[in-house]
Amino acid sequence: MKLQVQPKLIIHGGAGSSLHGKGGIEVVRRSLHTVVEKVYSLLLSGATACEAVVQGCYMLEDDSCFNSGTGSVLQSDGQIRMSASLMDGALGRFSGVINISRVKNPIELAQFLQNSPDRVLSDYGSAELAREMQIPIYNALTDLRLQEWIQERQDNFKSTMAGVVAEPELVETSNARRGTIGVVALDGYGKIAAGTSTGGKGFERIGRVSDSAMPAGNYATGHAGVSCTGIGEDIIDECLAARIVVRVTDGMSLKDAMQRSFTEAHQNKRDLGAIALDASGAIAWGKTSQVLLAAYHDGIAIGDTLELPENSEVGCLS
């Protein structure tokens, strides 16, 4: 089928404190641009928005630099529990898994659940689904994340979160660190999808639920799609993804919807970020955190948000 519109794509690898130096930025930039290049080529070849989003999430989950899939942070008991969701904007269908362990790609289960009558599963149900799907058991633990947890345990878990990225040269000392990955795509047929995946915030209480498997952190309609990152509790309190998408669906421009939503988040002292697309092809991002690790393809070239000013920021490309 011939493409009817120019595909657009935006992805993120989390939000957090400043990257330490140009070397750190380039590590993340290479990772993000590689994913954008691969996934955008799929969109040009006719892939649907959902297919593109899932492929992008797979690649980001497999990159141990980011806090999702391989490279996920450890919770307070030293275990990895991941959450992910997928929303097909054309169908208005949300699916996800919460606190699943021992799988490589949580987004795979979220994708499967798109066609299930029960579309969001908790830890036990997710584990049973993985067994039914015959997904191989996988250990997502990396040495860097283990050392991070051991160091924090020795310090009696004074930090509230783990590092947003897992690279030796990117180790951060601030407590305000968080990580998620996300993909939002507009395909050549004018359909939008959004996907988000995370290993949690690290060192958290067992059973804590992330925004990544909620419409608060991942939402799409036929008008717009949003994936969020940052402090999950702040995102939930703002119901950020759904708030932005509903505003666009109700007639507000994506730029204005992002600006109003992030002005409110800033006033409420939230610490978060988001990426977005709308049906017209506009691409947008916003942050109240210092850094938003995002990259996009506007139909002409790849760009990113890695060197934005550290203050609250909203950007939009029409």
Beta bridge partners of 87: 94, 194
Query: Six-digit token pair at 45?
Result: 């070849």
Residue 135's nearest CA partner among 214, 201, 69 is: 69
Cα separation, 238 vs 244, whole angstroms = 10
For 313: left if phi > 0, alpha if psi spans -120 to 50, otherwise beta; the answer is beta
Cα torsion at 143, 295, 38, 281 (round to 10°)? 150
Q: Is 89 in contact with 202 (CB distance < 8 Å)?
A: no
Q: So which residues are the catalytic ones?
A: 180
Residue 185's nearest CA partner among 106, 63, 285, 296 is: 296
Cα torsion at 205, 207, 209, 212 (round to 10°)? 100
Cα separation, 63 vs 129, whole angstroms = 24
How many beta carbons lie within 10 A of that of residue 30, not counting itself?
A: 11
